[in-house]
């Protein structure tokens, strides 16, 4: 009798000491792998925090940058923080309604053939590298019109959409059929059932999915490279013009020769990391809370 | 309460609401498909001038000469760079990631399990531009000053380990950066796979007297084989598509150099560096052609991985409908 | 009408909030924003113009230094209001740009920077040797050719690490223009252009990238606009001109080179002052004009005209501390005539 890759020879008691030694060696390797992985994270985060913390001050958030300063000058990255807020905010506003609608369509109305087609489209969209999305949005929205916050937000929205749609779909499928049937049986029309009964149950999951998508997209540089990078130093809030963003600012500062620029890049990276970590943790906490609530509500 | 149909007036209103929601939701789904089609169309359409000029030979031609009057473009050098950086990063990350996943499912004490899982997933959340920043300013100098000279002295007879890079920007630095980036993906998928191995199979093997490693080698790994393949392919796809961090640390050099310590360039990083500055129509079209090659490769990786995942999930009886509508 | 559910109400509220923010944000356009992109060479000077322009006319200048090639591409695609390029437009580029004019608006030099610990500033170098270094024929700092130019200076046995621009750059055009003029070998093998087929070295984006690359690479050598060498405290060479004198990329050397061509080309407005003839004894041989590219018909024509008039007159006074030489009178006259064509 053999179970997959276990042969009779493996089970020989006479080889036991050798088998135990090999086992020990493999366990050590696994511990080593885990240590390396954790070490990589710790090294990167520690490097960023160590270099970013000294440069973290209110100036970073409130002062605009000074282009090509000849000497030390008080400056910050206010335009990047403002721009990131607008860009990510607009992208979220663009994505969430569309993502929810797509999920509703796929779970409520779509025939299996259409569902697989749309799912495939979402998978393809998820697999397109961000730099290719940048080329696409550049050709679609920037040529002839100029860069703008709209183009940048749209590029970010393309990245967010598969994530929001998929996570909304997952929570929609978790809603028990009995709830739907009860509502329909009481005479509530199908569309109201979906909007007022089913969706509110999934609100937690939708928020989690959105928060995760925001965390993912807040640090994306490539989609903004050709769509919202020709910026001035002043703080702007209007999406009609190109807006600076934190990842693009870090990208540009990282290639500069000035150590003061590097310090600001580290500080911005620290803020970005903290933001992403906080949003990811929030999403995870929301997810476990939601799961607990759904399991107790059954 | 009997199933008496509601009065006709309300029935019509209901149907209008239903139709409206179906229309709007359907429009959203259609919009997603349209966007995908537009992406493919724009990329193909944008590269047409270069496709007309160079045909399919562009894909393997090793040349990028932008001098006016002598313009000649080809993706060969960048395809080589993409292949080397992504494959070596995958080769390095795969054993590490599987090791981490095995650690988390077999060896970790309860209190460590949650913490290490969270830490490894946090690694995935670090934006590529931050890793690139770390690569330029921290990793690059360390590799340039300590690691590369040591490797060159010890293994310099192998052409892979040529003279240390002068600036810290090299293919080697890019490989390390990519390894860090794809490790969490492969690891978290592998972990889910190992958790999904049926208890009876594992306990059965252990009951026969196998050591833990023999059980892993004989039961867990073969069972998760398909999924691990998918995880590896997904990781490879991620590495191929990474443009920002790679462009920050790879050194921007055209041509095929066998030494890992020389500079290089990949499809994504070349586009990130040069797209905004494309001078002639042919150059811009060639850069979009690079994007087309990149799109074809990363899409096929992604779709292949997802196809494998679906096949494995179906085989293992894990459906996608969990108590909802059919 | 059924009462609106929670979901509908929240969505409506969010949509109204979004619309309100968007209208509020877009209503705030009191300044005229002038956007431009291109040359990293002229970026330091443009940075000095942001505040004075704001206080003089209320213009908000947004410029992104993506390289001269990028500037030409951007203005051709009309994604910006003006493009900046150190490399003059070719006939094809003029045609593609559809009714653009090229106006010389600043004058400065490319410094050849190096990172050699212990060495002093302003070591000697000439074009032929420089061409051999960048083509890979000279690989060590203590090569006899370099030692011959720097008698009495001890040069280490260190590998030369060349750094060049990876993006399409007018500074590369200026630098390779000089190398082609000084070395027939370079001219035949690599020529001049906004990007060439570099045989060795690492590529960096932007002049600040090259400055960063050289300052972080022991034994490094590269080329940047002289303002970047100043702001990053980098050492640069004194280059030998055709008269045999070693000139530095300062105002005197740039002015000396500008004498080589005083009248811009009547059709394209371009000026070539690279490697001037022997009689220009004070010339720094790697000097160049840099141009602004604007369409003759633009929705922001009035603002552009005011901006450019200011740039070529008042704006020049911000140049000297960054080693930009104010443009000579004959060039200014032509520039103003061309600016008037913008409608």
Distance from CA of A38 to the nearest CA of B (A): 7
Buried b / exposed e across A188-216, counting CB within 10 Å, b at 16+? Answer: bbbbbbbbbbbbebbebbbbbbbbbbbbb
Rounded to whole angstroms, the Cα distance separating C174 from C249 reads 14
A232 and C206: CB-CB below 8 Å? no
Distance from CA of A236 to the nearest CA of B (A): 23
Pick from A187-196, B260-269, C2-11: least confident: C2-11
In this predicted structure, what is the pLDDT of residue B70?
79
Rounded to whole angstroms, the Cα distance separating C52 from C66 reads 23
Residue to test with chain B: of C5, C73, C170, most B Cβ within 10 A: C73
Of C237, C234, C228, the C-alpha closest to C322 is: C228
User: Does A28 contact chain B (CB < 8 Å)?
Assistant: no
Residue C250: CB atoms within 10 A of its CB come to 16
Residue C228, both tokens: 């970047």
Of A276, A256, A249, the C-alpha closest to A79 is: A249
In this predicted structure, what is the pLDDT of residue C6?
59
* Residues B55-81 pLDDT 10s: 999 999 998 888 777 789 999 999 999
DSSP states of C17-62 as a string? Answer: HHHHHHHHHHTT--SEEEEEEE-SSSHHHHHHHHHHHHHHH-EEEE
CB pairs B-C closer than 8 Å: 97
Contact B201, B223 (CB under 8 A): yes
Greater pLDDT, A118 or A205: A118
pLDDT confidence of A217, banded at 50, 70, 90? very high
| B 68-127 near C (Cβ less than 8 A) | 68-70
B169 and C169: CB-CB below 8 Å? no
The four Cα atoms C214, C220, C225, C227 give a dihedral, to 10 degrees, of 60
A230: nearest CA partner in chain C = C64
Query: Would the pLDDT of A171 be above 50?
Result: yes
Distance from CA of B321 to the nearest CA of C (A): 25
Mean pLDDT for chain C?
Answer: 88
First to last CA, chain A: 44
pLDDT confidence of C258, banded at 50, 70, 90? very high
C35 and A86: CB-CB below 8 Å? no
User: Does C219 contact chain B (CB < 8 Å)?
Assistant: yes
First to last CA, chain C: 57
* Residues C173-203 pLDDT 10s: 999 999 999 999 999 999 888 888 888 888 8
The three-point CA angle B228-B229-B232 to 5° equals 85
CA distances (Å), B12 to each of A185, A187, B9, B47, in order? 18, 13, 6, 51
Residue C118: CB atoms within 10 A of its CB come to 7
Distance from CA of C43 to the nearest CA of A (A): 8
Distance from CA of B103 to the nearest CA of C (A): 40
Residue B258: CB atoms within 10 A of its CB come to 13
- Provide CB contacts within 8 A for A24, sequence distance 6+: none
User: Does B243 contact chain C (CB < 8 Å)?
Assistant: no
Phi-psi label, residue C118: left if phi above 0, alpha if psi -120 to 50, beta otherwise: left
Q: Which CATH architecture has domain A78-297?
A: Orthogonal Bundle (1.10)
pLDDT confidence of B120, banded at 50, 70, 90? confident
The packing angle between helices A78-104 and B8-54, to 10°, is: 120
The three-state secondary structure class of C201 is coil
Rounded to whole angstroms, the Cα distance separating B204 from B77 reads 52
In this predicted structure, what is the pLDDT of residue B279?
73
- The rounded percent of chain B whose pLDDT value lies above 90 is 49
DSSP states of C212-233 as a string? Answer: HHHHTSTTEEEEEEHHHHHHTT
C43 and A67: CB-CB below 8 Å? yes
Contact C164, C192 (CB under 8 A): no
pLDDT confidence of C14, banded at 50, 70, 90? low
User: Does B220 contact chain A (CB < 8 Å)?
Assistant: no
User: Does A49 contact chain B (CB < 8 Å)?
Assistant: no
Pick from A32-41, A179-188, C108-117: least confident: A179-188
B12: nearest CA partner in chain A = A189
Rounded to whole angstroms, the Cα distance separating C110 from C119 reads 20
pLDDT confidence of C20, banded at 50, 70, 90? low
Provide mean pLDDT across the span A84-106.
95
Rounded to whole angstroms, the Cα distance separating B241 from B237 reads 6
B273 and C167: CB-CB below 8 Å? yes
Contact B62, B256 (CB under 8 A): yes
* Residues C261-293 pLDDT 10s: 999 998 899 999 999 999 999 999 999 999 999
Distance from CA of C184 to the nearest CA of B (A): 16
Rounded to whole angstroms, the Cα distance separating C204 from B167 reads 11
Residue A280, both tokens: 């990811």
DSSP states of A104-121 as a string? Answer: HIIIII--HHHHHHHHHH
Residue C106, both tokens: 């600043």
Chain B residues touching C66 at Cβ < 8 A: 276-277
pLDDT confidence of B318, banded at 50, 70, 90? low
In this predicted structure, what is the pLDDT of residue A115?
92
C217 and B263: CB-CB below 8 Å? no
Contact A252, A111 (CB under 8 A): no
A255 and C209: CB-CB below 8 Å? yes
3-state class percentages of chain C: helix first, strand second, coil last, to nearest 5: 40, 20, 40
Provide mean pLDDT across the span A247-269.
91
**Closest by Cβ to A255, choosing from C63, C205, C228:** C205
* Residues B175-218 pLDDT 10s: 999 999 999 999 998 998 899 899 898 899 889 888 888 899 98
User: Does B226 contact chain A (CB < 8 Å)?
Assistant: no
A200 and C7: CB-CB below 8 Å? yes
First to last CA, chain B: 27
* Residues B265-282 pLDDT 10s: 999 999 998 887 777 888
The three-state secondary structure class of C342 is coil
Distance from CA of A238 to the nearest CA of C (A): 5
pLDDT confidence of A117, banded at 50, 70, 90? very high
User: Does A292 contact chain C (CB < 8 Å)?
Assistant: no
Instruction: Classify burial at B180, counting beta carbons within 10 Å of its beta carbon; exposed 0-12, middle 13-18, buried 19 or more.
Output: buried
B277 and C196: CB-CB below 8 Å? no
User: Does C296 contact chain B (CB < 8 Å)?
Assistant: no
Rounded to whole angstroms, the Cα distance separating C64 from C40 reads 8
The domain ranges of chain A are 78-297
C78: nearest CA partner in chain A = A144
Three-class SS of C244-290: CCEECCCHHHHHHHHCCCCCCCCCCCCCCCCCCCCCCCCCCCCEEEE
Query: Would the pLDDT of B325 be above 70?
Result: no
CA distances (Å), C284 to each of A29, B102, C125, C194, C248, in order? 63, 66, 12, 21, 6
Residue B99, both tokens: 């090791």
**Closest by Cβ to C213, choosing from B66, B167, B276:** B167
In this predicted structure, what is the pLDDT of residue C4?
52
Instruction: Classify burial at A277, counting beta carbons within 10 Å of its beta carbon; exposed 0-12, middle 13-18, buried 19 or more.
Output: middle
Rounded to whole angstroms, the Cα distance separating B10 from B21 reads 17
Pick from A129-138, A274-283, B112-121, B317-326: least confident: B317-326
Of C290, C267, C302, the C-alpha closest to C101 is: C267
Contact C110, C223 (CB under 8 A): yes
User: Does A196 contact chain B (CB < 8 Å)?
Assistant: no
B253 and C202: CB-CB below 8 Å? yes
Contact B47, B288 (CB under 8 A): yes
CA distances (Å), B287 to each of B268, B272, C85, C198, C209, in order? 10, 10, 21, 19, 21
Distance from CA of B298 to the nearest CA of A (A): 7
Tell me the Cα Rg of chain B: 25
Chain C residues touching B69 at Cβ < 8 A: 191
CA distances (Å), C159 to each of B109, B207, B264, C132, C193, in order? 52, 64, 19, 14, 26
- Provide CB contacts within 8 A for A197, sequence distance 6+: A179, A180, A183, A188
The three-point CA angle B61-C203-A228 to 5° equals 95
Residue C178, both tokens: 């000089």
Residue to test with chain C: of B250, B276, B280, B286, most C Cβ within 10 A: B276
């Amino acid at each position: 009798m053999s179970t997959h890759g276990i042969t009779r020879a493996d089970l020989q008691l006479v080889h036991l000491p050798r088998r135990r030694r090999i086992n020990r060696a493999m366990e050590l390797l696994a511990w080593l792998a885990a240590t390396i992985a954790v070490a990589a994270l710790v090294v990167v985060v520690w490097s960023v925090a160590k270099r970013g913390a000294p440069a973290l001050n209110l100036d970073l958030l409130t002062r605009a940058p000074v282009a090509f300063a000849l000497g030390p000058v008080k400056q910050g990255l206010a335009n990047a923080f403002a721009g990131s807020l607008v860009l990510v905010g607009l992208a979220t506003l663009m994505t969430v309604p569309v993502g929810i609608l797509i999920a509703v369509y796929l779970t409520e109305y779509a025939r299996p053939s259409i569902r697989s087609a749309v799912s495939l489209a979402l998978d393809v969209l998820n697999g397109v590298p961000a730099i290719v999305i940048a080329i696409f949005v550049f050709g679609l929205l920037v040529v002839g019109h100029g860069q703008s916050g709209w183009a940048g937000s749209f590029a970010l929205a393309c990245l967010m959409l598969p994530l929001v749609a998929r996570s909304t779909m997952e929570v929609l499928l978790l809603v028990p059929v009995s709830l739907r049937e009860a509502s329909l049986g009481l005479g509530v029309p199908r569309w109201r059932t979906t909007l007022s009964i089913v969706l509110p149950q999934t609100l937690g999951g939708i928020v989690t999915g959105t928060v995760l998508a925001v965390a993912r997209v807040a640090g994306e540089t490539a989609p903004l490279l050709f769509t919202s990078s020709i910026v001035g130093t002043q703080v702007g809030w209007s999406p009609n013009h190109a807006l600076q963003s934190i990842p693009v600012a870090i990208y540009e500062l990282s290639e500069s020769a000035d150590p003061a620029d590097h310090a600001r890049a580290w500080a911005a990276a620290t803020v970005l990391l903290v933001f992403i970590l906080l949003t990811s943790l929030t999403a995870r906490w929301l997810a476990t809370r939601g799961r607990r609530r759904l399991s107790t509500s059954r | 309460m009997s199933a008496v149909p509601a009065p006709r007036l309300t029935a019509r209103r209901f149907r209008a609401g239903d139709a409206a929601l179906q229309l709007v939701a359907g429009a959203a789904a259609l919009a997603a498909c349209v966007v995908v089609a537009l992406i493919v169309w724009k990329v193909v359409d944008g590269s047409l001038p270069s496709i007309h000029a160079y045909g399919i030979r562009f894909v393997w031609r090793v040349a990028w000469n932008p001098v006016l009057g002598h313009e000649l473009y080809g993706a060969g050098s960048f395809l080589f760079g993409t292949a080397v950086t992504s494959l070596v990063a995958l080769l390095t990350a795969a054993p590490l990631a599987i090791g981490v996943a095995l650690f988390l499912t077999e060896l970790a004490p309860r209190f460590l399990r949650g913490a290490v899982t969270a830490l490894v997933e946090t690694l995935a959340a670090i934006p590529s531009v931050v890793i690139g920043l770390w690569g330029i300013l921290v990793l690059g100098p360390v590799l340039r000053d300590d690691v590369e000279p040591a490797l060159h002295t010890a293994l310099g007879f192998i052409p892979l380990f040529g003279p240390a890079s002068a600036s810290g920007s090299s293919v080697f630095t890019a490989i390390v950066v990519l390894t860090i980036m794809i490790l969490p993906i492969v690891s978290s998928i592998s972990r889910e796979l190992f958790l999904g191995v049926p208890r009876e199979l594992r306990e059965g093997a252990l009951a026969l007297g196998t050591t833990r490693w023999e059980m892993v080698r004989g039961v867990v790994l073969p069972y998760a084989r398909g999924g691990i393949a998918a995880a590896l392919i997904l990781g490879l796809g991620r590495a191929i598509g990474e443009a920002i961090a790679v462009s920050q640390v790879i050194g921007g050099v055209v041509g095929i150099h066998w030494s890992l310590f020389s500079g290089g360039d990949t499809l994504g990083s070349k586009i990130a560096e040069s797209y905004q500055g494309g001078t002639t129509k042919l150059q811009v079209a060639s850069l979009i052609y690079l994007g087309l090659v990149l799109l074809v490769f990363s899409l096929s990786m992604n779709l292949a991985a997802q196809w494998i995942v679906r096949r494995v999930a179906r085989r293992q009886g894990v459906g996608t409908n969990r108590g909802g509508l059919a | 009408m059924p009462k609106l559910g929670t979901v509908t109400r929240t969505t409506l509220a969010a949509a109204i909030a979004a619309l309100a923010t968007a209208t509020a944000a877009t209503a705030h356009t009191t300044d005229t924003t002038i956007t431009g992109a291109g040359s990293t060479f002229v970026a330091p000077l443009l940075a000095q113009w942001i505040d004075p322009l704001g206080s003089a006319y209320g213009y908000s200048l947004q410029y992104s230094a993506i390289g001269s090639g990028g500037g030409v591409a951007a203005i051709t695609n009309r994604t910006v209001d003006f493009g900046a390029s150190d490399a003059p437009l070719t006939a094809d580029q003029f045609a593609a740009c559809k009714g653009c004019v090229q106006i010389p608006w600043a004058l400065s030099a490319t410094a050849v920077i190096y990172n050699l610990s212990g060495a002093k500033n302003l070591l000697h170098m000439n074009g032929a040797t420089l061409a051999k270094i960048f083509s890979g024929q000279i690989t060590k700092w203590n090569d006899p050719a370099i030692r011959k130019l720097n008698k009495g200076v001890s040069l280490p046995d260190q590998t030369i690490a060349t750094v060049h621009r990876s993006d399409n750059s007018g500074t590369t055009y200026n630098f390779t223009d000089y190398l082609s003029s000084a070395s027939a070998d370079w001219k035949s093998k690599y020529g001049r252009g906004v990007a060439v087929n570099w045989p060795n070295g690492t590529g960096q984006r932007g002049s600040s990238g090259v400055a960063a690359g050289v300052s972080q690479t022991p034994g490094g050598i590269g080329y940047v606009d002289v303002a970047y060498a100043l702001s990053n405290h980098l050492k640069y060479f004194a280059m030998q001109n055709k008269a045999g004198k070693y000139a530095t990329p300062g105002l005197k050397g740039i002015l000396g080179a500008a004498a080589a061509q005083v009248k811009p080309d009547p059709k394209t407005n371009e000026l070539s002052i690279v490697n001037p003839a022997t009689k220009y004894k004070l010339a720094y041989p790697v000097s160049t004009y840099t141009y602004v590219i604007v369409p003759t018909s633009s929705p922001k024509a009035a603002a552009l005209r005011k901006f450019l008039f200011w740039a070529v007159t008042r704006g020049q006074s911000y140049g000297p501390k960054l080693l930009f030489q104010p443009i000579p009178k004959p060039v200014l006259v032509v520039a103003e005539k061309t600016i008037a064509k913008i409608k």
